Amino acid sequence: MRFLVIFIVSALVFGCSDQPVNTSMQEVEAEISDEQLQLHNNSVADIYYFVVEQDMAAKINWEPRSQDENRIQSGDTKLVSLSEVMEYEAGDTVIIYFWTSEDPESDQIKNILVE
């Protein structure tokens, strides 16, 4: 009984931190520089991505495709020419959608915005 009480108290003390793990790093980081979009995969899994200009995203229907050309391995960085992003003009905001499974459900697709 005494062991159980110590175990429960220890779990509460050490298991309940008010600091989330890895707060300084996002799963995917992106930056626009020199007419290129730099995507860095900080996650432990490979990701797949789709990049679209923000206003265009409201006008198109798309579905996630998980292929080698839109995959970034864990820890790797990929450069995407902004000329490949439909309707992109300097100063526009792009949306980067990303997911980890080859056939993701809609709630598994995350996104970030980059200006």
Average pLDDT over residues 10-14: 41
In a domain, 39, yes or no: yes
CATH number of the domain at 94, please. 2.60.40
- In angstroms, rounded to a whole number, what is the distance separating the alpha carbons of residues 34 and 83? 11
Torsion of CA 80, 81, 83, 84, to 10 degrees: -30
51-82 confidence digits (pLDDT tens): 999 999 999 999 999 999 999 999 999 999 99
Give the residue numbers spanning the domain of 40: 30-114
In a domain, 8, yes or no: no
In a domain, 68, yes or no: yes
pTM reported for the whole predicted model: 0.76
Q: What residues have CB less than 8 Å from 37, skipping those under 6 apart?
A: 30, 31, 51, 79, 80, 81, 82, 85, 94, 96, 114
Total number of domains in the chain: 1
In a domain, 91, yes or no: yes
In a domain, 7, yes or no: no
- In angstroms, rounded to a whole number, what is the distance separating the alpha carbons of residues 112 and 89? 18
